[in-house]
Structure 1
């Protein structure tokens, strides 16, 4: 099974999963959607939003494929380009952060670790772009009929947009290393420090270098001792 995660391009919008292609939970003002209910071409609006963000800011999604079949995607963008970002009780997103909005996993990848692969691809992209932090509004179930299992939602074309379907579970974000910076029983805001993560990688690499160097000295010392008394 071959898994690939690549940045979304303008020419690749059609490869997005069916639900992700028409979901405008984050991309349109909720009031505008309600006022035009039945008249909004959600797929057109989503493509228009993606085109605008990619032309002004750059790629704003990572798309995963398994054996060349679309398996999932993750979306992120500057918060001022995401209409719903200012409407949460834990808004606003920090000025130095990019907002991770949503992620979808297709049924064919439901039992894989694709969620962590997508997060890693988003982080790697933003580190290259010198972004300091990644933030997200997490979702916690609060007794309503909607429920969150702590797993990334599995996408189907039939799912209606809602917080439990279009937001990331707070538990999943915490498992990925995000910290809660604005607590809330339903919609906490979480943050991942990208410079800290990058520094951690450098520290690990330095530790490995020291380990290899130490191992080299040990081997040389052992070789020297093993020759003592040998004719």
Structure 2
């Protein structure tokens, strides 16, 4: 089975997986919520954040839906979500201001989170989602894409034993925590990102989208490599049937 990837629209918010709808790790500043408070409606907060970014900046996500497109009669697309990816200007992402390897470069868009439903990882969907984001941002004239990666060592981190800056970065918010809501650093380097600010737990990585006169050819080549790697990662016979 294949997935159809398209820009995330606010009316399709309910199609996102439950965690994606409720995850506000990047979108809400824990200092505003207050350490003694809890988020009574994280889903509302996430939808409000998406609405704000879409209104002020434009599309900030891609969603992959499983199966064929809906009939041409205008009916709603109720296909299940296979995966999603979100990105935004760094000044719209409160958690970015708390990361020890910040700030994000002024010419870059920040890749915040990505999720792929069980069974879709082997179909190369993570690579294809990244390729779709790159293609979208190149069309919009963005020069670079950056992300805060999570290293394997971060999964064993003891927040109580780290420095204050790292503790601020890993502070949980509602149901969200860094080990569930950050993208793996090894995956980011695999798809072409370079580390621009090293860190034991949370390096900042960058993917150049504009490299002078030859940038268009280089980006197109990078997209082709991403899509090829997605195809190579599929098991024999994958995508040939439902």
2-structure distance, mates of 1:203, 1:70: 28
2:65 paired residue number: 65
Q: Decide which structure has the larger Cα Rg and report it.
A: 1
Query: Residue 142 and residue 195 in structure 1: after superposition, are their counterparts in 2 closer, same or farther (change >3 A)?
Result: same
Cα displacement (A) at 1:142: 2.4
From 187, 204, 211, the counterpart of 2:202: 187
8 Å contact from structure 1 (residues 33, 40) kept in 2: no
What are structure 1's unaligned runs of at least 5 residues? 147-158, 205-231
1:123 to 134, 149, 155: 134
CA drift of 1:29 comes to 0.5
Residue of structure 2 in register with 1:90 after alignment: 101
Distance 1:40 1:72, change over 3 A: same
Q: Return the alpha-carbon distance in structure 2 between the equivalents of residues 95 and 22 of structure 1.
A: 28
Counterpart residue number, 1:209: none
Aligned partner of 1:103 in structure 2 is: 114
Partner of 1:15 in structure 2?
15
- Per-residue CA deviation, residues 156-179 of structure 1 (Å, 9 max, x unaligned), is xxx942111100010000001000
* 1:202/1:119 CA distance change after superposition, 3 Å: closer
**TM-score normalised by L of structure 1:** 0.77
Secondary structure of 1:142 counterpart = helix
Query: 1:143 and 1:86 mapped to 2: Cα distance?
Result: 19
Pair 1:198 & 2:209 matched: no
Q: CA deviation at 1:112?
A: 2.0
Measured after TM superposition, the shift of residue 145 of structure 1 is 3.9
Kindly indicate whether residue 177 of structure 2 is the aligned counterpart of residue 162 of structure 1: yes
SS at match of 2:105: coil
- Alpha-carbon contact 2:154-2:200 (below 8 Å) kept: no
TM-score (norm 2): 0.74
**Does the Cα contact within 8 Å between 1:63 and 1:73 map onto a contact in 2?**
yes
Q: Greater CA deviation, 27-36 or 120-129?
A: 27-36
**Which structure 2 residues correspond to residues 42-57 of structure 1 after superposition, within 5 A?**
42-57=42-57
Q: How far apart in 1 are the matches of 2:63 and 2:220? A: 27
Distance 1:15 1:109, change over 3 A: same
Could you tell me which residue of structure 2 aligns to residue 224 of structure 1?
Answer: none
2:63–2:83 CA contact under 8 A, matched in 1: yes
CA shift for structure 1 position 38 = 3.4
CA 1:203–1:111 in structure 2 vs 1: closer, same or farther (change >3 Å)?
Answer: closer
Structure number with the bigger relative contact order (C-alpha 8 A, sep ≥ 6) is 2
Gaps of 5+ in 2: 68-78, 158-173, 223-242
Query: What root-mean-square deviation, in Å, do the aligned CA atoms of Structure 1 and Structure 2 show?
Result: 2.2
